[in-house]
Structure 1
Amino acid sequence: MGKRYDTSLFWDEDDGDRVYVQGALYWRVKEGIAQLEIDLETGASLSGEPKPIWSGTGRPIPEAPHMYHKDGWYYLLVAEGGTELDHCATIARSRSVWGPFEECPHNPIIHAASKDAYFQTIGHADIFQSLEGQWFAVALATRDGRINFPMGRETVLIPGQWEPGSWPAFNARVESLMKTSEDSPPPPPQINENVLENFVHTETGTLWPHNLLRLRNPDDETYQFEDGALHLWPSAKGDTLDGRFGTPTFVARRQTAIECTTEIEITLAEDRSVVAGLSVYLDFGSHIDVVLTRSETKPGLEAHIRQRTPAGASPGTASVPVDNGALRVVAHEDRYEFFGWRNGAWVSIGNGLAKDVSGGFTGVVIGPYIEGPASNRSDHAKVAVKKWLYSEVA
């Protein structure tokens, strides 16, 4: 497809099982949707160069095409408006897969209900019919997409109607719980996850849990799972979470609910030049960390909050004495609360705002990290994560 993106396959079962590929033209050159027919065995084009078939409704950046054949019509669904507050889905139809396509008079058929609706930036949609005959759309959206959306883009399910020979209609306001005429699926199980129990030993090594992430090209030498604990060493090059490049030692789980709690217990390295803790991480320029250190003036440990925003590093909070390496972060819709353990109870270390880790396409991940001098692989520089729990409220 050349300089195309958001490609989609369409099997035309009513026309000899022909297979077509639609894709968005590179919008910096020319906006629109192009198509070609392909040989499914070789992937080669059977129709020459990609042919433009629809340029959208005039909104910017038509992309994410999907083709449907229904009631003698070829329907072409696209996203328009970019992926921010003007994001939406529009549709057109033709009697031929090659067009010309006529625009739906009710476009956009999927969009945010209003600028003050809880779900914003709704678009990049697809349409399907359930086994019971109910029509649905799935689309990308962000919660409160103007300010607080630390989980990034999520997938929403929207009920609708598609009468024979007519246009699909999805007029329902997108809510966190959608109402349909069909029986609702069972609620997802309550998540109370012991992350360390998900590591699996095999004859060839340790299998990491599929839902844990590390940054960029991780250095496996700085991670070791042994005797039920995850052992971490500083990056061989001294990389930190603030770095645009490099491979800091950091492992995290996606935040998958607005309200959730992450709790870890670590044994801090004896080397005072090594720091470790728990990070709420969006990217190198947007993260909030609780930092655990050895006190410079007295025996014991201290914890404080440091924060990085696109404007730069924010002043850290005052250090709070803690009894051990038990750390907790509680996520709320608009903030994160950080805690340490002292005198048999959780004590506040500080707070961070959800808006400071909101932005872009992806969401927050939360997990332990370690930072220290380069090439420090001694046992004195090692941190052991002995407990890691993740639970969700909603």
Structure 2
Amino acid sequence: MPGPEIAERAVIRSWKTPIALGIFAVLYLLLLVLAPRGGQTTFRLSTEADLIQLPALTVPVALTTWVCFIIVVVLAALSAYFVRTWGRSPLWIVIVAILVFVVGFLTWAAAGESITVVGLLAGSIGLAVPLIYGALGGVIGERAGVVNIAIEGQLLAGAFSAAVVASLTGQPILGLIAAMVAGMLVAFVLAAFAIKYLVDQVIVGVVLNVLVIGLTSFLYSQVLQPNSATMNTPPRFSRIPIPLLSEIPIIGPVLFRQTLIVYLMYIAVALVYVGMFHTRWGLRLRAVGEHPQAADTVGIKVNPTRFWNLLLAGAIAGIGGTVYTIGAGIAFNKEMTGGVGFIALAAVIFGQWDPIKATLAALLFGFASSLQNTLSVIGSPVPSEFMLMLPYLVTIFVVAGVVGRSRAPAADGKPYIKG
């Protein structure tokens, strides 16, 4: 008879990651065999504005792509070994495999051309910012036991409010505050129905998304368009280079020549992570999401804790919506968030309800979108239709294939009735 430890090990073993990486390797092999490319690809590591200039890196296409393929195969085999031996595949294998594949794919797609690495990475950060804010809001909500499907509505409400208030006042900082309030209002409705009246959380979230889309579209057509000069010409946050740090090659231009919204994002990720796992607030938050009955017995007010944390999640997601308006100085338009809230929700699942991992997942999705734009500019042989699908294909792949074994908070989505 096998011992209990062996039995438990067999139960939790998941082969999803090595299988997904194996399929990944096969698809990569088909690309190299059916559409081989030669020549050289140049990666430019600096821009003209950089104080320290790095030389461009030119690599042979055929050799580089095949070396990357071999590394991906080795990583898939290593992942299978870890699963067989320890029951799970470490996250670093997935991260390295994705990085190696990206290098190989970029080398293949840009054969005979050059890619500005700084521009690609900076674009990834810019596109990932609303995803990260939305993912942080999702992590907080679900750790508290409430499925925050309404992230899309919170982002869109934040974008709308920021554009209107900043246009009327000429102060983008006031637009930022208005976006937080708008996100909190959407979260308030979700909390009232899901926590107070015990309505199904997913249904309430979907309805809220539709409501916000309809409301902002109506106000855009009836109010903003006729008064666009005064109500829909938002100023933008200017970029603030951080002395010394902004001059670090590659990293500096990408991370430290950003706007206030991006710097607030860095602070938000750090605060949410430290707060969630190293403070009394985080302990209470996780307690009401994992075992609300036990939390109640030790004096934690479960539903008020969920309520206030959901408002916090809405405020954070609302900030993410400002990227689309005052973050770029762009007028508000109908449905301008384009379903980003749902990708942020996928980042929460891919990140296993951890703020750091969810941030990394959001960066991956942002990179996929930036890669689509970059390859379109250089005239990649990849069909434009596929490039438009790329961010969503990455979303499906990572959630369905490489997440491995993950478990949502035990009380996630379950209303708590005292007694």
TM-score (norm 1): 0.23
Relative contact order: is structure 1 or structure 2 higher (C-alpha 8 Å, sep ≥ 6)? 2
Please identify which structure carries the higher strand content: 1
Please identify which structure carries the higher helix content: 2
TM-score (norm 2): 0.22
